[in-house]
A and B are shown apart, each in its own frame.
Chain A
Amino acid sequence: MEKKTVIVCCASSMITSTMAVAKVKEIAAACGAPEPRIIQCKFSEVQGNLASNHVDFIVPTGKLKGVETGDAPVIKGTAFVTGVGEDKAKAEIEAQLKA
């Protein structure tokens, strides 16, 4: 398994993305994948970070609007804030980490 690069992002105050970052690391540890390199940023910084990094997937805690995500899959991380649908989001992230 290759070490992945993941963008975890939220609106502005870095709160919900910090909650999601903790979960992504936890999922990696639990499934035996290498801990990914995590780029934590605001929605407004995603486009720039995509341009300057090879990003394997993106976990936004809200809707990413006006961002061209190209080939990078987007997995909604809102579940890590609300707890609703958390198992599904975890499974999707695990699959990406192991891909």
Chain B
Amino acid sequence: MVLNLFPEDILLNIDAESCQEVLHLVSTHLFGEGKVKQSYEEHLVSREREYPTGLALGSINVAIPHTDYQYANTTQLLVATLKKPVEWHNMEDSDESIPVSVVVLSVFDKPEHQLEALQKIMGVLQNQELVAQIADADSAQQVIELFN
């Protein structure tokens, strides 16, 4: 399967102070495009609070926030690179925080797409060299190519 990534949903070098701010920025962006429902942010945030998605991958860490398919109108990714890392709770141990530099939001409107897409995403994210290139990318096209 090809991961759906669109240049308008690749947000480079965003300036945020916290994980909450990142989630707010990306939810607002997607809602403005009509790609998610209004309640998306609320569900994304509460799921993240209960079950965080920060992944300790090495020197560059990534978060993969997601929520249930009912709140989205499309199946695609949004990728945000952060100007400076923000503290994110670790999936492995939610009492711990790790600095996260890249956020890969998977948006799904059908549950059956979720697993295959996430496996493909993880295939990319498990490679620190690719993650470093994503973190440093200066064009949306570059990020899209690194994922596919």
Contact = CB atoms under 8 A, between A and B. Distances in A.
Q: Specify the main secondary structure of chain B where it touches its partner.
A: loop
Most interface-central of B56, B58, B92, B111 (chain A CB within 10 A): B92
Contacts of A12: 47, 51, 68
Contacts, number: 58
B33 interface: no
Given A15-B118, A19-B122, A82 B47 contact: no
A52 interface: no
A84 B92 CA distance: 11
Contact of A82 (B66, B119, B126): B126
A13 B68 contact: yes
Contact of A62 (B68, B91, B114, B119): B91
Contacts of A13: 66, 68, 111, 114
A62 B94 contact: yes
B66 A76 contact: no
Given A11-B51, A13-B66, A18 B115 contact: yes
Contacts of A84: 56-58, 126
Nearest to A44: B50
Interface string A6-19: 00001111111011
Interface residues of A, number: 20
Contacts of A82: 55-57, 91-92, 122, 125-126
A13 B47 CA distance: 10
A40 interface: no
A28 B123 CA distance: 22
A78 B126 CA distance: 12
Interface string A58-99: 000111010000000000101001111000000000000000
A63 B95 contact: yes
A76 B122 contact: no
Contacts of A16: 91, 118
Interface of B: 47, 50-52, 55-58, 66, 68, 91-95, 111, 114-115, 118-119, 122, 125-126
What are the 6 closest A-B residue pairs judged by CB atoms, nearest first? A11-B51, A83-B126, A78-B92, A82-B55, A63-B93, A15-B118
